[in-house]
Amino acid sequence: MRLEPSETELVGKWELQDGRITGDAAEKRISWLVMNSLKRIAFTQGGYEILYQDPTDGRYWELTFPTPRGHGTGPQKLSLLTRRAALEKYNLNERQPRQNG
């Protein structure tokens, strides 16, 4: 369930099943990754864009909600960011150590 080196983006979707809205497989995987595998590093003002780092390889991942369904809700999107993009967008210090293990 961890992120593969070839992956660059996961996009979740909400589906209607038996009269209930539920997340698809990608949505469930994103939730698992941010709760169990990735380390939260920073967030933008408002908290709707969150930067994570994969402790296994040091890559930066951004969690967003590209199609909001209300205040802070909606399907999730997990996108790979370059180190430079992560440092600039989240105003991090260039010397911030990589989070390994």
**pLDDT value at position 69?**
65
**pLDDT value at position 45?**
76
* 30-81 pLDDT per residue, tens: 999 999 999 999 998 778 899 999 999 999 999 999 886 665 578 999 999 9
What contacts 87, CB < 8 A, 6 or more positions away?
A: 93, 94, 96
Q: Can you point out the beta strands (E) in the chain?
A: 9-11, 14-17, 20-23, 39-43, 50-53, 60-64, 77-81
**pLDDT value at position 66?**
85
Choice between 45 and 19, residue whose per-residue pLDDT is larger: 19
**pLDDT value at position 27?**
96
